[in-house]
Structure 1
Amino acid sequence: MLKDKHIALYVTGGIAAYKSLNIVRSLIKQDAQVQVIMTDAAQKFVTPLTFATLSQRPVITDNFTPQTSPDDFIPHIQLALWTDLAVVVPATANIIGKMANGLSDDIVSTSLLATTAPKLVFPAMNTDMYNNPAVKNNLQTLRKMNVQIVEPAVGFLAEGMTGKGRLPELPAIMEAIEKNFQPRPLLGKKVIVTAGGTKEAIDPVRFIGNRSSGKMGLAMAKVARDLGADVTLITTVDTDLGGLNVVKVQTATELMAQIQSAFPKSDVLVMAAAVADFKPINVADQKIKKNDDEDIFTIKLTKNPDILKTVASTKTNQFVVGFAAETQHLLENAEKKLANKNADVILANNVAQNGAGFNVDTNRITLLQKNQQPETWPLMSKVDVARKFWDFYLHR
């Protein structure tokens, strides 16, 4: 998978720098071409000679001295053009801040700034440093710039503490690297995914909603992105997923407007959002105060638009996926939804079952198509459900 791939390995000044030696060895074993670039601080932990011996290439440490030949007088540009994947490991708070803010005062930061290839960052530092709001903000900025961030592990740290900040183990690092070179069968597809529960205002402080966490929709979007799709995520929940066009909404009306805007140019719509069926006819301008003389308060509701049915009725060649979250009569209700909504597929689950409802990381899905027997999947993580669905889509 990694044969002849050009991987630029940026090593910065953290104690975990020595672990990067095993990464180089593993990449070389897979016949990748590895170019190591080191900061001055990184060289205090491991010598460039050690990396050069393992990578079979001179290590780049200076932006002003030719590394391999007199013609190589702009090393950061040559390196940027050469790179298929840039890996920063370990990534200190310093380099994370530089990347997030476009600073370039050494060979590492300058080369990363010039690189348009995908970037993969492995933060590793003291727990308190990692949790510092400045570092968190910088990581969030990088995610918005489509930089891949691999969360550090929890474990024993160099200073004797135990906490989050430890560099992940080698298999996890290699898996993250290899994922960048896996086939991307959804490349060129435009996918809309909705996620989370809508909120319908009663007054400025209260709303009608539901228990949806948005986890299923987020998993659908993440896997589609990893498979190469151009994903628009229309959601009511906050997310730090990078590489997506994220559109925030609250109400069913807002959700429908955003879907209708994007749908004509899309290939797939995954309606994973839990849409409120009703909304108050009137929304109070001020907080409604309880009245001691009145034990019952009545709110008149009206139906929200049927988003799935409305949008699916306009489809040309789009593939439309609906969800049916039920508490009883799962197949009966899901079959009715499949017949009435003009969807291509309904993914049904019983939210009253343990492990398959809202606010959990697992799901048990029954997939329904017209004129075919329902297909029931076992209990699995929501990410695995998403993987199984997209595999079904690609091989249907």
Structure 2
Amino acid sequence: MERLRGKTVLVGVTGSIAAYKAAELVRWLVKCGAGVQVIMTRAAQQFLTPLTLQALSGRPVLTDLFDLGLESEIGHIHAARSVDLVLVAPATANTLAKMACGIADNYLTTVLLAVEAPVVVCPAMNHKMYTHPATQDNLAALRRRGVWIVEPASGPLACGEEGHGRLADLSLILETVCRALTPQTLRGKRVLVSAGPTWEPFDPVRFITNPSSGKMGFALAVEAARRGAHVDLVSGPTALPDPPGLITHHVTTARDMEHVVRMLAHEAHLVIMAAAVSDYRPEEAAPHKFKKDDADLEIRLVRNPDILAGLGKDKKPGQILVGFAAETQDLVRNATEKLHRKNLDLIVANDLTQPGAGFRTDTNVVKVLDRGGGVEEWPCLSKEAIARRLLDRIEALGTT
């Protein structure tokens, strides 16, 4: 999560049994390159020691509003002014009530009254406490003020009951932090992204495919969601987990992908086709497994539908359509021809023969071509960085 690199995150830990998960959360934030300052309430220290979080964060943990050393320069105000984001995880019903009412009776709640940075809150409590009208009213008040709420998960609770109140998965919390740190430039927009390969079977256990990992498409979908867009990700078979906080549609064949993409494209402001769709499929798929013998096996291939060309033909006014081109020769010429033939606004082209480019890598080396003949050559970058640059380039078109 490169979005966290160089950011300062203040983590507030309150008195929930889920406080022990704060240690792993702090560890992940530091691993992502963030500087972490922890504040613990007195109740939180009953579940987890400040020494643990100090060791993980590399900074003294703030606990006492009246500590003469830490407060010699009005430390709580300095803490509020020096952070990029405040993350309260876990957040108890008591702390939520104090936040909603503006009560400042400990180090954390005092900082929260003074902070101007984004605030992310992760409730964790008994399900009856969470669903109580008072708690829901407090959460509604915080939402109105722009606080990001990470809804708790359902499942077994520490009290032995089961329900809605478990601290959300750490991956969802981290993704929400990234979104809160990202300008919401695509809020109100619908974005459709395709990713991964397609599988074209010729019997029940064998298929034709390509080495696409789906990483580029997934990175684009995540970045669009971080910018506030409603994102539909249409993915062929990959080993990647579904990105948190957006809708993933799983498909297998090119015809499956065409059906889902065409259904969703009508409402999309932006369509990015990053999937490596198989150009051909077996004419027939055998109902039973082919048995190996001494004879050669011949399979007749037929063309799959050209999803991107179909989208370009039916593109609605104002919609932006972006394609990808993976080539091994004549990169710019082939990509330019594809750009115009398929009525694209931009095309991202990469030469599979270059080091750091192509399938199953965490990096890529691309050229971005536009309809006016412009060609931007980008250096070898992580796919997350390419996703950020590409969406910046798309937003510069001004029609999303």
Same fold (TM over 0.5): yes
Q: Deviations over 1:300-354 (max 9, x none)?
A: 1110000000112111121000100111111121111112111111111011211
Distance change (3 Å), C-alpha of 1:232 and 1:62: closer
Kept in 2, the 8 Å contact 1:193–1:233? The answer is yes
The structure 1 residue matched to 2:12, chosen from 9, 22, 28, is 9
* Aligned counterpart, 2:214: 214
1:147 aligns with 2:149: no
Kept in 1, the 8 Å contact 2:11–2:37? The answer is no
* Aligned counterpart, 1:253: 255
* Aligned counterpart, 1:352: 353
**For 1:268 and 1:118, how far apart are their aligned partners in 2?**
25
Q: Deviations over 1:278-299 (max 9, x none)?
A: 001110111111122x1x2100
* Aligned counterpart, 2:283: 281
Please give the secondary structure, in 2, of the residue aligned with 1:387.
helix
* Aligned counterpart, 2:72: none
How many angstroms does 1:14 deviate by?
A: 6.9
* Aligned counterpart, 1:378: 379
Kept in 2, the 8 Å contact 1:351–1:357? The answer is yes
* Aligned counterpart, 2:57: none
**For 1:279 and 1:149, how far apart are their aligned partners in 2?**
40
* Aligned counterpart, 1:158: none
How many angstroms does 1:363 deviate by?
A: 0.8
Letter in 1 for 2:382: S
How many angstroms does 1:182 deviate by?
A: 3.9
Distance change (3 Å), C-alpha of 1:377 and 1:113: farther
Please give the secondary structure, in 1, of the residue aligned with 2:220.
helix
Kept in 1, the 8 Å contact 2:202–2:282? The answer is yes
* Aligned counterpart, 1:271: 273
- 1:290-309 matches, within 5 Å, as 290-292=292-294, 294=295, 296-309=296-309
1:42 aligns with 2:47: yes
Distance change (3 Å), C-alpha of 1:302 and 1:372: same
Distance change (3 Å), C-alpha of 1:394 and 1:81: farther
- 1:188-199 matches, within 5 Å, as 188-199=188-199
**For 1:224 and 1:329, how far apart are their aligned partners in 2?**
31
Letter in 1 for 2:232: T
How many angstroms does 1:75 deviate by?
A: 5.8
Kept in 2, the 8 Å contact 1:202–1:282? The answer is yes
* Aligned counterpart, 1:392: 393
Letter in 2 for 1:118: W
Decide which moves more: 35-44 or 239-248: 35-44
How many angstroms does 1:383 deviate by?
A: 0.9
**For 2:396 and 2:319, how far apart are their aligned partners in 1?**
16
Q: Matched residues, percent identical?
A: 33
* Aligned counterpart, 1:223: 223
* Corresponding pairs, count: 312
**For 2:271 and 2:368, how far apart are their aligned partners in 1?**
16
How many angstroms does 1:379 deviate by?
A: 1.3
* Aligned counterpart, 2:148: 118
How many angstroms does 1:147 deviate by?
A: 3.1
The structure 2 residue matched to 1:85, chosen from 109, 119, 126, is 119
* Aligned counterpart, 1:172: none
Please give the secondary structure, in 1, of the residue aligned with 2:266.
helix
Kept in 2, the 8 Å contact 1:356–1:364? The answer is yes
Kept in 1, the 8 Å contact 2:195–2:276? The answer is yes
How many angstroms does 1:85 deviate by?
A: 2.8
How many angstroms does 1:78 deviate by?
A: 5.1
Letter in 2 for 1:50: T
Q: What 5-or-longer segments of structure 1 have no aligned partner?
A: 1-6, 29-33, 65-73, 89-94, 122-137, 151-175
Kept in 2, the 8 Å contact 1:8–1:87? The answer is no
Q: What 5-or-longer segments of structure 2 have no aligned partner?
A: 1-9, 52-60, 67-74, 80-87, 103-111, 113-117, 152-165
Please give the secondary structure, in 2, of the residue aligned with 1:346.
strand
Please give the secondary structure, in 1, of the residue aligned with 2:13.
strand
Q: Compute the TM-score of the two structures, normalised by the length of structure 1.
A: 0.67
Please give the secondary structure, in 1, of the residue aligned with 2:261.
helix
- 1:235-254 matches, within 5 Å, as 235-236=235-236, 237=238, 238-254=240-256
Please give the secondary structure, in 2, of the residue aligned with 1:202.
strand
* Aligned counterpart, 1:338: 339
Decide which moves more: 305-314 or 363-372: 363-372
**For 1:370 and 1:301, how far apart are their aligned partners in 2?**
33
Cα root mean square deviation, aligned: 4.1
Please give the secondary structure, in 2, of the residue aligned with 1:50.
coil
Q: Deviations over 1:193-246 (max 9, x none)?
A: 111011111111111000100111111111111111111110022424211111
Distance change (3 Å), C-alpha of 1:75 and 1:215: closer
**For 1:229 and 1:177, how far apart are their aligned partners in 2?**
16
Q: Deviations over 1:127-171 (max 9, x none)?
A: xxxxxxxxxxx99x737xx93237xxxxxxxxxxxxxxxxxxxxx
Kept in 2, the 8 Å contact 1:79–1:111? The answer is no
How many angstroms does 1:13 deviate by?
A: 3.9
Kept in 2, the 8 Å contact 1:35–1:55? The answer is no
* Aligned counterpart, 1:200: 200
Kept in 2, the 8 Å contact 1:214–1:273? The answer is yes
* Aligned counterpart, 1:167: none
* Aligned counterpart, 2:154: none
**For 1:15 and 1:248, how far apart are their aligned partners in 2?**
33
